Amino acid sequence: MLEALEALEKRRAAARAGGGEKRVAAQHAKGKLTARERLDVFLDEGSFEELDMYVEHNCVDFGMPEQVVPGDGVVTGSGTVNGRLVYVFSQDFTVFGGSLSERHAQKICKIMDMAMKVGAPVIGLNDSGGARIQEGVASLGGYAEVFQRNVLASGVVPQLSLIMGPCAGGAVYSPAMTDFIFMVKDSSYMFVTGPDVVKTVTNEVVTQEELGGAITHTTKSSVADCAFENDIEALLAARDFVDFLPANNRTGVPARPSDDPWDRIEPSLDTLIPPSANQPYDMHELIVRTLDDGDFFELQPAHAGNIIIGFGRIEGRTVGVVANQPMVLAGCLDINSSKKAARFVRFCDAFEIPIVTFVDVPGFLPGVGQEHSGIIKHGAKLLFAYAEATVPKITVITRKAYGGAYDVMASKHLRGDLNYAWPTAEIAVMGAKGAVEIIFRSKDPAEVAARTAEYEARFANPFVAASKGFIDEVILPHSTRRRVALGLRKLRNKKLENPWKKHDNIPL
């Protein structure tokens, strides 16, 4: 019996050693943690239960039978984050560069299947050189098996990808189909074709970081949601982030105790709106003063800054926040902001997360570039997402809500449950000056000025919309948190179903 136990310990030690001391040292020299060290940081202490530690590849070509490492380049299993169950895989770059083989893929598929069975999030720590070339099409088949599970799990269990090293070629499409992607600056990158191929085909000279680094993907492409300075920061942020997410699409949002009074009054909000309609203000001020303890996890903060998305809590329960940002492009909706918010709204709806929308939108961004790039179809994505959503939806209009953008931003007409406005809200087809110049285009300047003042008095307020029932109540800014909290409490048992369909056809 003792001999068997010793043999087991030797096998475990061999698996834990990964690619050996030299390769582990090389990993550390790059400022990166190993696969197992990452799991130690991410999961609750002592909670990790590993599966398939002894799995080996089955490749018989190119001398591979002589190169066998237990675990085959990925550590898989389950653990807890703040006491809540998650399933994880962590690719080990010290073993064959973390390349994906048939058996490596089978390990990942197994934990994804288990996560689906029990209803728990899947978190992937990606650090891989791509498909294992020695295995040829078998490794490509492995990728496709993972892709298929990403699709089946979408909207059923949350999926989070942490890119902590290379992720290139076909490997990028698994993270792309997960719900959220976090990256590490200067040590992680994602691209379909690398700099060498790009130079050969297009003669463009570009570095890995410029082509697919964390800054590129969190500012320009929006492929990734957040960029962090190092592995530790990314993993700790992921722990906080997972705390906001439901376990699956049936359990409802997680709740945790909060000492922040639900009816807290915020007098500072009464002076948030500047005297001039053209003067910006920071919508973050309203968001953090409405949420529990000012705790807001913003997503894609460096991309499409004219709209803000992220998670917070009210009365200890997760809410999704969407807000126009007057500090950027005056809060106009454009292509990037529409896509950014639409996907977030659809995630919230899939996982029964209530949506709170703060509106200050003067319209859609004008321009030839926007029109030619398809703002009609891209703007329709956000409209579609809000109209489709059946979760509780509470909307607060703070200042401008003009034109079609008023409709799009969770209006009453898109089945908004509670639609509030501040006294400073202006709900109209367009601003007074533009409206008068169209209606009275042939009049002299003095009459135009008088008509503009008349239009402002008539429409530059929330009461016309309120008189038609499009606004449920005009509220005092300082009571916003109390109103939203009370509304969410009332809507907790909301039931609403869309007509039966196999699936919708969102304007992609």
User: Which residues participate in catalysis according to the annotation?
Assistant: 169-170, 404-405
Under 8 Å between Cβ of 321 and 286: no
Q: How far is CA 371 from CA 219, 402, 434, in A?
A: 22, 19, 20
Under 8 Å between Cβ of 101 and 73: yes
Q: Pull the structure tokens for residue 204.
A: 């463009």
Q: Residue 29 has what DSSP assignment?
A: H
Cα 413 from Cα 344, distance rounded (Å): 20
Q: Which of 363, 302, 297, 299 is nearest to 334 (CA)?
A: 363
Q: Residue 485 has what DSSP assignment?
A: H
Question: Buried b vs exposed e over 258-280: b needs ≥16 C-beta within 10 Å?
Answer: bebebeeebeebeebbeeeeeee
Tell me the CB-side half-sphere exposure of residue 26, using CA atoms within 13 A. 11
Other Cβ atoms less than 10 A from the Cβ of 213: the count is: 23
Under 8 Å between Cβ of 100 and 143: yes
At residue 160, the 3 state secondary structure works out as: strand
